[in-house]
Chains A and B, each alone.
Chain A
Amino acid sequence: MSNQNSLIIEMEHITKTYVMGVDEVHALRDISLKIHKNEYIAIMGPSGSGKSTLMNIIGCLDTPTTGRYQFKNVNVSDMNDNELAKVRNKEIGFVFQTFNLLPRSNALHNVELPLIYAGVHAYDRKEMARVALDNVGLGDRVHHKPNELSGGQRQRVAVARALVNDPSIILADEPTGNLDSKTGEEIMQLFEELHARGNTIILVTHEEYIAEHAKRILRIKDGLIESDEIVNNRKILSQA
């Protein structure tokens, strides 16, 4: 588990400072972190703790002010916009709280989108998107638009979109935040399956019971890591 090849994320003394007028806001003060392949980690923290900022930096949507961030042994802290876009496209699968699907496009096209930016040929693209939708149990909903799907189904489409490029990590930001508890459990079940298939999952949440699905919980407070522990009484879902 701790050999160099399985290391996906390595952060050393990451800081992020925002300048708001004359004030400086220290969103992240000093974060050092290692995440290996096939880990299932939850990042927790109250609002304003810096967990969103950390998630944005992990997801290569933002760059740290200081510190070194290596993704699969490649330094991403001083990459330019285009290089970051490529990393996001190939290595990171995002799942958002508000699903963030394109409302005017059907499920298939939404899942295809990352492949379009990856330059995959149209024929292969459709096939790959279909397989990804099949894998989340939506094989019969490919031509439905987001507003014709339930919340849980929308989130499944988002998961399929996150998976379609076979990324190194899945970064889920409050994936159950907009779902009722039963549908939320179904999505957590899906993550459990993805984890069992060898995916690396990073879950950002402020709900204890959601975080307990993970194998490791990282708590953030005031821009610092408060605790980093392995979950002992892990909540393992039975097959429904």
Chain B
Amino acid sequence: MRKVRRLKSWEESDFSINQQKALTSIYESTIGVIQVGGFFITGLSLFVGAIGIMNIMFVSVKERTREIGIRKAIGAKRTNILTQFLLEASLLCLIGGIIGLILAILLSYVVNQFLPTSVQVSAVILAILISVLTGMISGFAPAYTASKLDPVEALRYE
């Protein structure tokens, strides 16, 4: 390097060598913290959301007790009722997931003005899958309650 810059042996170096490695390691550790924090916050909001869905579905089952009675009277099996409510919960979460994704894409456009970001296809698919799965899991208990209802009592319910 000194040869390239044609420096005599008594002259001081008029350049310095900075390794990129130091910078990337700082960058990586920052990203790591953001990722861990992100996962924690996401997990927490997912959990809260799941509880919310479960609650809504329990209310829905209660409100539609009579409908469940009617469906059972005209021949719905337990599995029919179970799948109906599971599908409804998953659909609810799917819609939530899609709204979340739209917001995330919009946000990434905004952030892109300052920092380079990208929304990966794999992340989108994962997000959709996780939201549907959340619906399935949190909807199971209400759906199971619905499927176990006694048709006679459900029909009498006001």
Contacts and interface: CB of A to CB of B under 8 A. Distances in A.
Instruction: Please classify how large the interface on chain A is, using the bins under 10, 10 to 19, 20 to 34, 35 or more.
Output: 20 to 34
B75 A62 contact: no
Contacts of A100: 66, 69-70, 73, 155
A181 interface: no
Nearest to A101: B70
B62 interface: no
B78 A161 contact: no
Nearest to A87: B75
Nearest to A93: B74
B66 A90 contact: no
A87 to B, nearest CB: 8
A89 B76 CA distance: 8
Interface of B: 66-67, 69-80, 151-152, 155
Interface stretch (A28-36, A110-118, A191-199): A110-118
Contact of B77 (A59, A81, A94, A96): A81
B73 A61 contact: yes
Interface of A: 56, 59, 61-62, 81-82, 85-86, 88-90, 94, 96, 100-102, 113-114, 117-118, 161, 165
Closest 10 CB pairs of A and B: A89-B75, A117-B75, A85-B77, A114-B74, A100-B70, A61-B151, A82-B77, A88-B75, A61-B152, A117-B76
A82 B73 contact: no
A56 B71 CA distance: 15
Contacts of B76: 85, 117
Given A56-B152, A61-B151, A62-B152, A118 B75 contact: yes
Nearest to A102: B67
A82 B78 contact: yes
A118 B76 CA distance: 9
B72 A85 contact: yes
B155 A90 contact: no
Contacts of A62: 151-152
A164 to B, nearest CB: 9
A102 B84 CA distance: 15
B78 A117 contact: no
Given A56-B152, A102-B67, A113 B77 contact: no
Contacts of A88: 72-75
B77 A117 contact: yes
B80 to A, nearest CB: 6
16 contacts: A56-B152, A62-B151, A81-B78, A82-B78, A82-B79, A85-B72, A85-B77, A85-B78, A89-B75, A94-B74, A100-B70, A101-B70, A113-B71, A117-B71, A117-B75, A117-B80
Nearest to B67: A102
A102 B70 contact: yes
Contacts of B155: 61, 96, 100
Contact of B73 (A86, A94, A165): A94
Contacts of B152: 56, 61-62
A85 B71 CA distance: 10
Nearest to B151: A61
Contacts of A59: 73
A56 B154 CA distance: 13
A117 B75 CA distance: 6
A20 B77 CA distance: 27
A113 B73 contact: no
A86 B74 contact: no
A173 to B, nearest CB: 10
A210 B92 CA distance: 47
